[in-house]
Amino acid sequence: MELYQLGYFLEIARQRSFTRAAARLHMAQPALSQQMKNLEKELGTPLFNRGRKEIQLTAAGKAFHPRAEAILLQADAAKAAVSDVAQLRGGKLTIAAIPSVSACLLPAVIHLFSRQHSQVSLQLIEDSSERVADCVESGLADIGFLQLPASKSAFRSHALITEPFVLLACKSHMLASKKAVQLEQLSSESFVFYKGRARDTAMESCRKAGFEPRIVCESGELGTVRALVAAGLGLAIVPRLAAGDLPPDIVSVNLTTPKMQRQIAAVWQKGCALSPAAASFLQLTTSQLFQRQKTRGTV
């Protein structure tokens, strides 16, 4: 059973004539009659009582009529929905991102995207890089933003930024006035660690510098880490992206030795093309990063 056959059936029912229906459909009457014979054969029963002047629907035809209309309406609705998604006039985009990206980069991107494509519904999932990868791999998220590495076998990726780590200190700390410090100078300090892969990078770097960091608290919430640093509980080693728009009671100090950096990438399912909405969001993200780097004089 083909959709065009349902359309032919409904037009014949409206016109009560194969001749008039064929004219309306711009096709030859014998071809239209053959299509209806094929449909009736598939359904196993006649749909029309063929009279000399006008045709009438059989009992089976009357039962089939509203269902044929409903099927065509659903088909039209499906086409419209697909068109809306393709043209960014509707649909849903789910983004998964690590907290430093979602809090410090994506707000501006989401604002631009929502302004340009207001009819697309946005959902944001914030979690660790491992959980972001899981969300993308399972199809829960259309696109993810995480700290590399990510499984090459599961994802396609687009590198966005390679950024250094910096030190956060409360304004009253003796290091707050310095432009840069070496990590080995911090062996006697207390630390507030930012959970996730950023934590692993910070821990590994401290050990390479010759000491085991004294961790007084850990949190996966960037706002909590900042608040604890501002309260003087300890220092924090965070990616530079997480050190943007700092409150006045916290300062950012560069770390020189050893070199600490991470790479952020957008990932999506391997073998799948990005949806129009996800592709547009990625383009806006890339543009936003370029503007940030241009402002800092790094491009």
**Residue 256 pLDDT class (50, 70, 90 cuts):** confident
DSSP for 251-282?
EEEEE-SS--EEEEEEEEETT-PPPHHHHHHH
Residue 175 has pLDDT above 90, yes or no: yes
The rounded mean pLDDT for the chain is 90
Q: Do domains 92-160+263-296 and 162-262 have the same CATH topology?
A: yes
Is the pLDDT score of 299 beyond 60? Answer: no
Name the residue among 133, 108, 106 with its Cα closest to residue 196.
Answer: 133
Q: Annotate 126-159 with b (16+ C-beta within 10 A) or e (fewer).
A: bbbbebbbbbbbeeebbbbbbbeebeeeebbbee
CATH 3.40.720.10 fits 3-86, yes or no: no
Query: If you count them, how many residues does the chain have?
Result: 299
- Quote the pLDDT of residue 298: 54
Which pTM does this prediction carry? 0.70
Q: Is the pLDDT of residue 297 over 70?
A: no
CATH number of 162-262: 3.40.190.10
Per the DSSP assignment, residues forming a β-bridge with 122 are 93
What are the tokens at 279?
A: 């592709």
Given a contact cutoff of 8 angstroms between Cβ atoms, the answer to whether 165 and 205 are in contact is yes
- 151, pLDDT greater than 80: no
User: Where are the domains positioned within the chain?
Assistant: 3-86, 92-160+263-296, 162-262
Note the pLDDT of residue 296: 64
**pLDDT attached to residue 1:** 86
Residue 208 has what DSSP assignment?
H
pLDDT at 222: 87
Q: Which CATH number fits domain 92-160+263-296: 3.40.50.720, 3.40.50.1390, 2.30.110.10, 3.40.190.10?
A: 3.40.190.10
Q: What is the pLDDT of residues 21-33, one digit of tens each?
A: 999 999 999 999 9
